[in-house]
Structure 1
Amino acid sequence: MTAPFQLSALQELGPADRVAFQRFGCGPALEPPFGRIHHAIQAHAAERPHATAMEHLGACMTYGELDRRADQLAGMLGEVGVRAGDRVGLFLTRSMPMVVGILAILKAGAAYVPQDVRITPAGHLQHIVRVAGIEVVLTTSEHAAALPAGIAKIVEIDRMAGGTRVEPVDSGNGDTAMVIFTSGTTGQPNGVQVTHANLCNVLLTAPGSLGIAPGTRVAQLLNIAFDMAAWEILGTLANGGTLVIRGRDIEQAARLADVIIATPSVLSGLNPDACANVRTVAVAGERCPRSLAEKWSRRAAFHNSCGPTEVTIVNTVQRYEHATGMLTIGRPVPNTTVYVLDEALRPCPIGQIGEMWAGGACVTAGYVGNDALTAERYRPDPFLGGDHKMFRTRDLARWTPDGQLEYHGRTDDQVKVRGFRVELDAVTSALEKSAGCVRAFTVLHEGRLVGFVSPRTASPELARLAVEQRLPYYCVPTLIVPMDRMPMTDRGKVDRCALLSCMDEPAQLETVA
């Protein structure tokens, strides 16, 4: 629950801004029904054992069967030495064994560390095992041979002995539920420790619960190593829904779903007209084009969300209303706080752009094995006081007069062009306002701004004009490149490196003088 703000930290604000800073920055106070995310799943298994928990490639598994298999596997994990508080690798790919593995690890009191073995380099896996102190890796017989030799003790989920039900393991001592490795500034990923309390807070309360209930079908589209995949998987099962795990055809799973959770890049590849059953959509992970929100909000409840892994998947959400046309990143989720601060960590007046810091129940337990980085990014929270921490998101935002957060890019997306400071997201947003442009992206290459627009039929001249009309002259890209589709990373975001590689292929480029 969110504590009252410390008035001493607000003294530099005027009376009206002081009141608004507290009212806007504090999410509603709600008590999640469970303190451990797998307890919510177990409750649904006990109440509705014959309900379908998940589907994949024509096969189904009920909640009762999922719970039984997870208990068996949790018992096996105990036999090979896994104890509460340990971290267990989950190195496989989308499948029903993947879900069984997640639940079993949680029942054993351990934290799961997910990676997709099809696309994760061996050196990357070895780094994760070393940093997280992983001694046991769960996988399937299909993928076991692909793991680096000697990486850890390997347990193949699909070859475990069947029949005997093992009583659930006491998981009272394991607070961390999952460790998600994100890209680091050194090129090596950092592991974020996400607790059960973090997950229960966002997944078991509105709006993060997305109205998921028994009978709701949710598509599982994303890379399992991405924190948003936990929103799909655990958010579905903890609320009693049915998880529709995709195969190679992403749109096939989307067509069968009532709810889609995705990055804007992934969602832009889906046709709303082919997804007639979808009634709820949530996006996060990167800036959402207004045109995408417009397209989907005509047929479904559309939620635009924001928040890095370190504040538990998302910590702000807006229900976009087609009638108003105002796309923001919304307000803090329950029991969390958002502060818009200046470079000296002082509160910004309402309407002034500053950097977002997040506090309350969303703040995770820091980076595994990296105390120095944890101390740098997680600071004592002067607004909540006590032992509370706040996290530096590096997102820029300002409060609107009615208390919504208006996104203004990233501090690390600020670049210098001819001595002027330019926010790349602001340029991208202007490009996307041009006629015929559905998606855009901006990079700095060899000192000049380069804009990419899609589809290929989008006009570079109109895109340039859209920027000229909205931003100073130094923000106008010197080169605009039309593309069929934006390349994506394995986590469903625009692939900046792939776009930069296009710069080495002049024949593909179209220059705008």
Structure 2
Amino acid sequence: MESFVIPERFAEQVARTPDAMAVSAGAVKLTYRELDERANRLAHRLIGLGVRQDDRVAVLLERSIDLVVATLATVKAGGVYVPVHEDYPPDRRQWVVDHAEVTVLLADTATRGAGLPGGVPVVVVDDDPATAEQPATDPSVPIHPDQLAYVIHTSGSTGHPKGVAVTQRDVVRLIFNTQWTPARHARVLMVAPYAFNVSTYEIWMPLLHGGRIVIAPAGRLEPAKLRELIAGERITGIHLTAGLFRVLAEESLETFTGLSEILTGGDVIAPNAVRRVLDTCPDIVIRAMYGVTECSLFSAHHPLTASYRPGTLVPVGDAFNDVDIHILDDRLSPVPNGIEGEIYIGGRGVARGYFGRTDLTAESFVADPFGEPGSRMYRTGDLARRNDDGLIEFVGRASSQVKILGFRVELAEVEAALSGYPGLAQVVVVVRELESGEKRLVGYVVPESGDIDLGALRAHAKEKLPDYMVPAALIQLESLPLTSNGKLDRKAMPEPDFEAASAFRAPETPLQEKLCAIFSSVLEVPKVGIDDSFFDLGGQSLQAMRLLSRIRTELDVDLLINVLFDVPTVAGLADHLDDAAAAAA
């Protein structure tokens, strides 16, 4: 009888391939047996600290082998892992730990040095003598398939994140769905922020099928490093957000060489990007994905191969086995093919709900009129239609929830964070889409009186929100525009004019002139001076990736992304490149 418990499935794999490589990070590698033993010791340590079935364990580590050990150890102990993003502001990290009522916090020396949430016992995984003294045998904790596996937090319309509670059964049923080809995921690159739902694929797909997790170095990755990892580590499977996939397809096609399967989604997928990759790498399968955290990551998929011809939209296909996807109107009636409706998901994968928020759970997890008595479906807030072939085409959002850089963002949460700044009478946040398809948040504020220090307001937002939720532009208005019936007129909001605070200074050298042109093209602004900051002009991480790729293509220079954060102006980058060239000479 097959098991729907993660530790049991992992134990079966250890028994089959004890000496196969399970996880690697650079020169450090662990076999399945070694990973099992390290996780067992940490699991015994957690049990000794009082972790029992369904107790939450916060995980706050850099991307590393220890992160995989901590996650596996938590489920072995019968606990529920609660990933905490290392880049969250301190207040947000503390809120997640408090809200989840965690029993123990797992950290490492790097995150300990940056400051940890308080009020909970801490185990520093890479510096804990007591863990090394624990037995390497399996703790053999009885685990039921309907116990929770994890609680992952997403942006919430109430002003705080929502913790989505997913069971062991739902993880196992996703990973062992017969529509996967596990051989294509024999070596998976762990590159996404682990506090988001994609970590479910990056950790459990390889580990429960006898593959290997290859862990990317901690911190931000530039395109050159991503190419190097995929080629050098012979990566076969990877997940990329739709935005990053598009950037790499347009700027760095060689990145995809050698891959077997690319999973992409989280937003509208660019058809021409798919075509460019398949023309260059015809043996690759690009699998368009659709899913939400509330339904255990992936619910629909559509494999795209060399025969694909681009249309106006890339279909996300149809439901995985044992998942039910309904496109319904306002009366919960199915709409005909070609007509837009809202996506509701039933069947396998529907989460238990939002941890500690029965009110929010009742709003979004509704009775399923198409399923078994007592079953539920999740109202996604996403709009879609079925094409003539019956395949689902994702269209966009029906609610105030948006995707920024692949992350789900509730505009209400951003508005709530900005509203906490003193002296504001009104706050509205909207999404602006560039010609490239990339999206930016823009915040509009009306002061109670006088003027608002927008620089101080931005600093306030950075203290409350992760980087991807901080508006790229903040605009002060005398009043918010209204329609004739008194509702907010979002279309009448002025377009942001990204201008640097300093006076314009024209390029003075050929190198500066080339860099100004690259900045202008990537940021989609008409003019850039040599003292203008990339980030003051609205630049975010996807544009940073595109910028580095353009610099490599046009100037034949590979730049580390940290350099851009250190010297974000044309003048600074030009000096850096001149100094590097002089040192090389």
Decide: shared fold, TM above 0.5.
yes
| CA distance in structure 1 between the aligned counterparts of 2:496 and 2:118, rounded to whole angstroms | 45
| CA distance in structure 2 between the aligned counterparts of 1:489 and 1:224, rounded to whole angstroms | 22
CA contact (8 A) 1:38 1:238 kept: no
Correspondence 1:413-432 to 2 at 5 A: none
- The CA deviation string for residues 30-81 of structure 1, in whole angstroms up to 9 with x for no partner, is xx95301232222111111111111112211111101111111111111110
Q: CA offset at residue 182 of structure 1?
A: 0.3
Aligned to 1:224: 194
Q: CA offset at residue 450 of structure 1?
A: 5.3
Correspondence 1:19-418 to 2 at 5 A: 33-117=2-86, 119-148=87-116, 150-158=118-126, 159=128, 160-162=131-133, 164-173=135-144, 175-207=147-179, 209=180, 211-213=181-183, 216-247=186-217, 248=219, 249=221, 250-251=225-226, 252-255=228-231, 256=233, 257-270=235-248, 271-298=252-279, 299=281, 300-322=284-306, 323-326=308-311, 327-412=314-399
Distance 1:484 1:92, change over 3 A: same
CA contact (8 A) 1:310 1:364 kept: yes
Q: Report the TM-score, using the length of structure 2 for normalisation.
A: 0.66
CA contact (8 A) 2:295 2:350 kept: yes
Q: CA offset at residue 213 of structure 1?
A: 3.6
Distance 1:265 1:206, change over 3 A: farther
> Partner letter of residue 47 of structure 2?
G
Equivalent residue of 1:412, what SS? coil
> Partner letter of residue 304 of structure 1?
A
Indicate the structure whose relative CO is greater, using CA pairs within 8 Å and at least 6 residues apart: 1
Equivalent residue of 1:337, what SS? strand
The structure with the largest alpha-carbon Rg is: 2
| CA distance in structure 2 between the aligned counterparts of 1:187 and 1:70, rounded to whole angstroms | 36
Q: CA offset at residue 268 of structure 1?
A: 3.8
CA contact (8 A) 1:93 1:224 kept: no
Equivalent residue of 2:399, what SS? helix
> Partner letter of residue 164 of structure 1?
P
> Partner letter of residue 341 of structure 1?
L
> Partner letter of residue 344 of structure 1?
R
Q: Report the TM-score, using the length of structure 1 for normalisation.
A: 0.75
Q: CA offset at residue 287 of structure 1?
A: 2.1
Q: CA offset at residue 456 of structure 1?
A: 4.9
Distance 1:388 1:48, change over 3 A: same
| CA distance in structure 2 between the aligned counterparts of 1:292 and 1:272, rounded to whole angstroms | 10
Q: CA offset at residue 400 of structure 1?
A: 1.4
CA contact (8 A) 2:246 2:270 kept: no
Q: What percentage of aligned pairs have identical amino acids? A: 28
CA contact (8 A) 1:214 1:242 kept: no
Distance 1:278 1:449, change over 3 A: farther
| CA distance in structure 2 between the aligned counterparts of 1:140 and 1:440, rounded to whole angstroms | 35
CA contact (8 A) 2:149 2:166 kept: yes
Q: CA offset at residue 266 of structure 1?
A: 3.0
Equivalent residue of 1:137, what SS? strand
Equivalent residue of 1:324, what SS? coil
Distance 1:97 1:355, change over 3 A: same
| CA distance in structure 1 between the aligned counterparts of 2:390 and 2:185, rounded to whole angstroms | 34
Q: CA offset at residue 83 of structure 1?
A: 0.3
CA contact (8 A) 1:443 1:449 kept: no
Equivalent residue of 2:380, what SS? strand
Question: Which portions of structure 1, spanning 4 or more consecutive aligned residues, are displaced by more than 6 angstroms?
Answer: 442-446, 458-461
Deviates most, 299-308 or 323-332:
323-332
Correspondence 1:483-502 to 2 at 5 A: 487-488=541-542
- The CA deviation string for residues 331-384 of structure 1, in whole angstroms up to 9 with x for no partner, is 001101011111122221232110000000120110001000000000010000
Aligned to 1:474: none
| CA distance in structure 1 between the aligned counterparts of 2:164 and 2:56, rounded to whole angstroms | 12
CA contact (8 A) 1:107 1:171 kept: no
Equivalent residue of 2:84, what SS? strand
Q: CA offset at residue 110 of structure 1?
A: 1.1
Distance 1:48 1:162, change over 3 A: farther
CA contact (8 A) 1:307 1:393 kept: no
| CA distance in structure 1 between the aligned counterparts of 2:401 and 2:134, rounded to whole angstroms | 58
Q: CA offset at residue 187 of structure 1?
A: 2.5
Could you tell me which runs of 5 or more consecutive residues in structure 2 were left unpaired when the two chains were aligned. Answer: 403-429, 445-489, 498-517, 526-536, 545-585
Deviates most, 66-75 or 133-142:
133-142
Q: CA offset at residue 150 of structure 1?
A: 3.1
> Partner letter of residue 245 of structure 1?
I
> Partner letter of residue 100 of structure 2?
A
